[in-house]
Structure 1
Amino acid sequence: MAYQHTIHQHVYRFRDLKDLLAKASLLRSGDVLAGISAAGYEERVAAQITLADVPLKNFLSETVVPYEDDEITRLILDSHDREAFSLIGRFTVGELRDWLLTEQAGTEVLQGLKMALTPEMAAAVSKLMRNQDLITVAKKCEVITRFRNTIGLKGRFSTRLQPNHPTDDPKGIAASIIDGLLYGSGDAVIGINPATDSPAVVANLLNLIDTIRQQFDIPAQSCVLSHITTTIELINAGAAVDLCFQSIAGTQQANTSFGVNLSLLDEAYDATLSLNRGTIGQNVMYFETGQGSALSANAHQGVDQQTCEARAYAVARRYQPLLVNTVVGFIGPEYLYDGKQIIRAALEDHFCGKLMGLPMGVDVCYTNHAEADQDDMDNLLTLLGVAGCNFIMGIPGSDDIMLNYQSTSFHDALYIRKVLGLRPAPEFEDWLIRQGITDEKGKITHNQLTGKLIAHLF
């Protein structure tokens, strides 16, 4: 179906919904690279005006990737909640935007709509929103998950303790874990990106974290972010797997480039559930995404990178994950050029994920060749804290020495908790107080646990 709009006697034509969504996106270097972005601001505004008048029901009949060619499109349409959709089915995209900002669209109402909104609908409405709109609506979307602690409660802000090491050295990783725990980090997950996907190395790292957890009775979960096939192999061998991790994208072709599909994800989900390692819940999956991943694999199929990203969230919500985060600036300036594009993309991703019922976190990050710096990340971190983001990363000095990118430090998490009055997950907070790491007000005390941890690990 073609769309068009006239500005100053110039007729802007958009060949289909996919083209319209791409042209309505805010400026993204990745979309420019793909040759699908608007030619300029006037065409972008024309596309946004046109998109605002598109009925939501059009998204159920006009797909951006053909149903017969893509299992994610089939998942999206086959799992669509038409009964819940009746509440918003009469809206256009612009009317949905206006309604989402009303008091009528409260937390419980939005929770009931998570399967009624397709990723394309969520992406479309985000393209019409200012940053403050994205923050306002996302803050209303409470998504709570549980494994050994409770993540996503209002007034709480969690961190992934990310103790990566370039050679997977256990002592180096253990030192980073100690550092993070003593700064109150790790309630979302203690999660290591291994330098190698060797099953033996991954098993050793899993054992390292699990030994620390059991020794000090830490109410947290661990994950070594190996490929899903390695994780399945380790589960079958009886390894200490809490969470199953996988990077995912928004097209079947892109996921194939990652070596995964829905069938394999189903197998991994069932295998991880069978271990029954959670104490207060069984949300066992951890997914990472990022704008530009499908394009970098030459698998975006002409879809703009933000809409592709939202489609990845349809994959994630199938498995009721404990954690999902967009690694927003990791791929580089070819996809998000500067701090402004990174900030906007992160707010869009967080909004779309939360609207679709996901426990969204954000890796507030950039690469050293991007036109961005730590001040940009401070701004984004603060905006995400206001928006109700579930978690961020905690990395020693904010510098990941294995993945070679800049993210957020343990101190950054302390900053956002302090200025916004936020606290860790309740079970983890109680543990921090009992161990003398923090006091009742959340102030770091670094008491008796320091020596115990060092003596145990070294």
Structure 2
Amino acid sequence: MRFTQTISGTTYEFDGLVELMAKATPLRSGDQLAGCAATSDAERAAAAWQLADVPLTTFLAELVVPYETDEVTRLIIDTHDREAFAPVSHLTVGGFRDWLLETATLDDAASRYSAVAPGLTPEMVAATSKLMRNQDLILVASAARVRSAFRTTIGLPGRIATRLQPNHPTDDPRGIAAATLDGLLMGCGDAVIGINPATDSPHATADLLHLLDDIRQRFSIPMQSCVLSHVTTTVDLISRGVPVDLVFQSIAGTEPANSSFGVTVPMLLEANEAGRSLKRGTVGDNVMYLETGQGSALSAGAHLGTGGKPVDQQTLETRAYGLARALEPLLINTVVGFIGPEYLYDGKQIIRAGLEDHFCGKLLGLPMGVDVCYTNHAEADQDDMDTLLTLLGVAGAAFVIAVPGADDVMLGYQSLSFHDALYVRQALSLRPAPEFEEWLAGLGMADADGRILPVDPATSPLLALTAAP
């Protein structure tokens, strides 16, 4: 199918849906690298204008990545709920944008979004996001509600959780314990205490899992832990009786990209069942922790779609959420600026991508979080991260990631600090997850409004962590 659009006497042609969506995408370096970005603002505007008139049903007929050759596409199409889709099936992409914005003003917006979510494909949602300003993405996302639970409840209104990320370059237990203490004293860790291990050694992973589980039990913390090793390593440890709470895996939006991670859809579904079989949750049984990021498919050379054309990175990112939806995760976050300036060049592009990813994930029914981050060679700084964090707080992000001093010394990138989490909760009157907040209050670490209080070094039981082996 070819699309044409004339603006001010100039006619622009787009060869198929893949090209149209790529040309309509707000400018980003990854699409320029892939050779699919619009060559001018005028061409981008023409593509967006044309995309607005595309019926949503087109995305069920003209697939961005072929059904026959891609298992992610097959999962998306085979699980599509046509009954849920029916209320919006008559709309175009532009009409759906209008419906979302109108619905956001209603008292029952969250339930309306939830009802239609199983009927939306990632491509429909990605296309709609391309027509939206930042404020549109924030408004709709803030009206959506997605809840998940394990030992804490994630995604409740008026709350924002945090992943406490105590990484260490050598997985030293004392270094990890010190970073964990630092975060807990500032009210972080209610989403997960999650470690990126320095190696994928099963023995080292098991040691870290035992360390975190010991901390949880010693201090009766309502929390879940995770060591972000490969899913096959975690499943093997489950079979050995190691205390696994969450099963982690990085995922992407195409079958070849997931193959580069060493995973398949059946493997991920099996891992989800393995995690649930342990029945370690207390308030829910969502056991998967998934990470994504715009540019991952392109970086693996796995970004080509129908007709061999490059698919824009934001659409491929949203397809990863279509896979995630089938896994019913407790947590999923985009590591939005982590891959580097080749894909998101500067603070402006990182902020836009973070809002897009959050919007698309929530609209597809995911408890969406964001690692608000950048690499040191990107044209971005901590002021940009402050802006994105604040916008995500307004938009109702389920959680963010926090590391000591905003500087991850193991992965070598800049994220948020524990202080940043305190800032956004204070500025926007947001609170921790309720189970975690109750624990903090019980130790005298939080007041009745969920605000974190100074700890007396002489009496705090948490300081025993400094004696960890």
* TM bucket normalised to smaller: over 0.9
Is 1:280 the counterpart of 2:283? The answer is yes
AA at the equivalent of 1:358: L
| Distance (Å, rounded) in 1 between the aligned partners of 2:266 and 2:3 | 37
Work out whether 1:354 is the aligned partner of 2:362: yes
* Superposition map of 1:199-218 within 5 A: 199-218=202-221
How far, CA to CA, are the matches of 2:75 and 2:453 in structure 1?
Answer: 46
Q: Is the 8 A contact 2:230 2:248 kept in 1?
A: yes
Per-residue deviation, residues 92-140 of structure 1 (Å, max 9, x unmatched): 0000001100135711000011111100000000000000000000011
Q: CA RMSD in A?
A: 1.0
- Structure 1 residue 450 displacement after superposition: 5.2
How is 1:35-74 mapped onto 2 (pairs within 5 angstroms)? 35-74=35-74
Q: Which amino acid aligns with 1:339?
A: G
User: Does the 8 A contact of 1:134 with 1:347 survive in 2?
Assistant: yes
Task: Indicate conservation of the 8 Å contact 1:25/1:127, yes or no.
Answer: yes
Pick the aligned partner of 1:372 from 371, 380, 383: 380
Q: Aligned residue for 1:184?
A: 187
Of the three residues 238, 244, 249, the one matched with 1:246 is 249
1:375-414 aligned at under 5 Å gives the runs: 375-414=383-422
CA distance in 2, matches of 1:418, 1:434: 20
Contact 1:437 1:449 (8 Å CA) reproduced: no
Q: Name stretches of at least 5 consecutive residues in structure 1 with no aligned partner.
A: none
Q: Cα offset for 1:154?
A: 0.2
Is 1:135–1:383's contact at 8 Å kept on the other side of the alignment?
A: yes
Distance 2:227 2:152 in 1: 18
Q: Cα distance, 1:406 vs. partner? A: 0.1
Counterparts of 1:444 and 1:397, CA distance in 2 = 19
The 5 A counterparts of 1:209-358 are: 209-301=212-304, 302-358=310-366
Tell me the secondary structure at the aligned position of residue 210 of structure 1: helix
The one-letter amino acid of 2:116's match is L
How far 1:452 sits from its partner (Å)?
4.2
Q: Gapped runs of 5+ residues in structure 2?
A: 305-309
Is 2:130 the partner of 1:127?
yes
Deviations along 1:262-295, one digit per CA (max 9) or x if unpaired, are 0110111111111110011100000000000000
Alignment CA distance shift 1:455-1:42 (3 Å): closer
Q: Give 2:453's aligned amino acid.
A: I
Q: 2:455 aligns with which of 423, 446, 450?
A: 446
- 1:138 is matched with 141
Q: Distance in 2 between matches of 1:66 and 1:242?
A: 36
1:457 to 445, 455, 468: 468
* Sequence identity (%): 64
Provide TM-score, normalisation by structure 1: 0.99
Partner-residue secondary structure (3-state), 1:37: coil
SS in 1 for 2:39: coil
For 2:182, give the aligned amino acid: D
Distance 2:316 2:201 in 1: 31
Asked if the contact 1:350–1:389 (Cα under 8 Å) also holds between the matched residues in 2, the reply is yes
Q: How many Å separate the matches in 2 of 1:134 and 1:62? A: 25
Question: In structure 2, what is the Cα distance between the partners aligned to 1:159 and 1:53?
Answer: 40
TM-score, normalised to structure 2's length?
Answer: 0.96
Instruction: Tell me, yes or no, if the aligned pair for 2:177 and 2:465 is still in contact at 8 Å.
Output: no
Per-residue deviation at 1:451?
Answer: 5.8
- The SS at the match of 1:288 is strand
- In structure 2, how many angstroms separate the alpha carbons of the residues matched to 1:450 and 1:277? 25
Shift of 1:247: 0.2
**How far apart in 2 are the matches of 1:258 and 1:435?**
42
- Which residue, out of 426, 429, 450, partners 1:421? 429
For the residues of structure 2 that align with 1:52 and 1:26, how far apart are their CA atoms?
14
Partner residue of 1:159? 162
What SS does structure 2 have at the residue aligned with 1:36? coil
- The answer on whether the counterparts of 1:178 and 1:453 sit within 8 Å (CA) in structure 2 is no
Give the conservation status (yes or no) of the 8 Å contact 2:174–2:466.
no
SS at match of 2:302: coil
Are residues 1:10 and 2:18 paired? no
